[in-house]
Chain A
Amino acid sequence: MAENKYLGELTKGIIKENPTLVTLLGMCPTLAVTTMAENGLGMGLATTFVLVCSNAAISLLKNVIPKAVRLPSFIVIIASFVTLIEFLMKGYLPALYDSLGLFLSLITVNCIILGRAEAFASKNKLLPSILDGLGMGIGFTLALFLMGSFREILGTGKWMGIDLHISDPMTIFIMPAGGFFVLGCVIAAVNKLANRKPPQQIGCEGCPCAGSCTGCANESKEAEA
């Protein structure tokens, strides 16, 4: 039974609560770095690393951090791991580091990470938190890889750098407009396959700062009333 529960923590992030395609968090990197499948994969793995580490750290420190200053503390913990992965990537994968550029630093403000810290790691033990981070990270990586593959194949006629000999690649797909378009279609396709009603809007339930944010708190009060 216990094993099943742990497995559940891991798999929920991959399919049922996929952060990008279902709860619609972390939209910015999803759109920005997915011009190539390889970049999507790199970004996904970097985010997974930060997610697992920060979930583990926050889960261990949850009783030490005072409630009032928890959000700034979480952000500092996350930012430290982001700096760490920046160094690692600069040292070992300089090409990927250059193509991800600014968005590597912006992992700090990725709502998925702060959201998991707030919603899961600050309430659970070490092992479930690590599994939760890993699952969410894998889900995010898969979504990014899928988006990147679509855009790279349609936009440049290549996949992971392999030429697929498509005669007329549509450059629009690697431009910003194509990013919005592909993401819209992918979300619609996932909804169709899962036979689920599409999310009507990006609401407060998915927002990581829902608890601390006065705007959302007011809105949910209004909804309850």
Chain B
Amino acid sequence: MKSMLIILFSAMLTNNFVLSKFMGICPFLGVSKKLDSAAGMGAAVTFVMVCATLCTYPVYTFLLAPFGLEYLKTVAFILIIALFVQLIEMILKKKIPSLYSSLGVYLPLITTNCAVLGVTILNIDNGYTFGESIVDALGAGLGFTLALLIFSGVRSRVERADIPETFKGVPATLIAASIVSVSFMSFSGMVEGIFG
């Protein structure tokens, strides 16, 4: 239980996917303009990360590893993710239209989100068990959502600030991201300190 908590919180805070591992920067910069779209994107990514891990872990352990095909994992995982995104989109559209209307637009973007492929490959590389992989994926997704939410708040202030002409737009956004990233650095060591 303790190790699970450590994995969950370190994936969320210390090893935050966006701010310390640089995965999923494109949606981080692209979708963080408004608070509600940031929340939608975060929820969609968390959902796909957990579901994709549910699929990729068994595929790797029972299909690729026994036949010595570990090197095919990039190809296999990206296909699973692409299929999965499509499938989730179809299921949501048919069964839960209200959720589809709020998450739907973000789903196609997730296929090429490197955070999803990254978390599935990292789980294998770190040698996590099935349970640990799911918890890690959940933590990574929550961390992504947290970063997006915090950053959308910061950004709404930056947009209105009076900054030099050359820095307006993307450069200012990146520098704001750097400051948010500094604040996340303060979490290092905290998780192990509390649960360890």
Q: Show the binding face of A for B, using Cβ within 8 Å.
A: 24-25, 27-29, 31-32, 71-72, 75-76, 79-80, 82-83, 86-87, 102, 105-106, 108-111, 114, 172, 175-181, 183-185, 187-189, 191-192, 198-203, 207-209, 212-215, 218
Contact = CB atoms under 8 A, between A and B. Distances in A.
User: Which A-B residue pairs are the 7 nearest by beta carbons?
Assistant: A184-B174, A215-B105, A180-B178, A32-B22, A188-B171, A27-B25, A181-B178
Contacts of B23: 28, 32, 106
Interface in B62-82: 71-75, 78-79, 82
Contacts of B121: 102, 105-106
A82 B74 CA distance: 8
B55 interface: no
B175 interface: yes
Contacts of A105: 73-74, 117, 121
Contact of A80 (B75, B167, B178): B75
Nearest to B181: A177
A31 B108 contact: no
B70 to A, nearest CB: 11
Contacts of A180: 174-175, 177-178, 181
B71 A179 contact: no
A204 B193 CA distance: 43
Contacts of B29: 24, 27, 202
B30 interface: yes
B108 A28 contact: no
B41 to A, nearest CB: 10
Contacts of B129: none
Contacts of B167: 184, 188, 198
Nearest to A219: B105
B190 interface: no
B174 A187 contact: yes
Contacts of B99: none
B122 to A, nearest CB: 6
Interface string B165-192: 0111111111101110110010000000
Interface centre among A76, A175, A192, A202 (most CB of B within 10 A): A202
Given A86-B71, A198-B167, A177 B22 contact: no
Contact of B185 (A110, A177, A213): A177
A76 B79 contact: yes
Given A72-B82, A75-B79, A31 B71 contact: no
A109 B178 contact: no
B168 to A, nearest CB: 6
A182 B178 CA distance: 9
B108 A191 contact: no
11 contacts: A28-B26, A76-B78, A79-B74, A102-B118, A108-B78, A175-B185, A181-B175, A184-B167, A185-B171, A203-B30, A209-B112
Contacts of B162: none
Contacts of B178: 177-181, 184
A73 B19 CA distance: 31
A82 B72 CA distance: 10
A203 B173 CA distance: 14
B71 A87 contact: yes
A158 B33 CA distance: 38
Contacts of B125: 102
A28 B26 CA distance: 7
B6 to A, nearest CB: 21
A183 B178 CA distance: 10
Given A106-B23, A188-B167, A201-B169, A114 B112 contact: yes
Nearest to A183: B174
Given A109-B78, A178-B178, A201 B170 contact: yes
B151 to A, nearest CB: 11
A40 B19 CA distance: 19
A194 B77 CA distance: 41
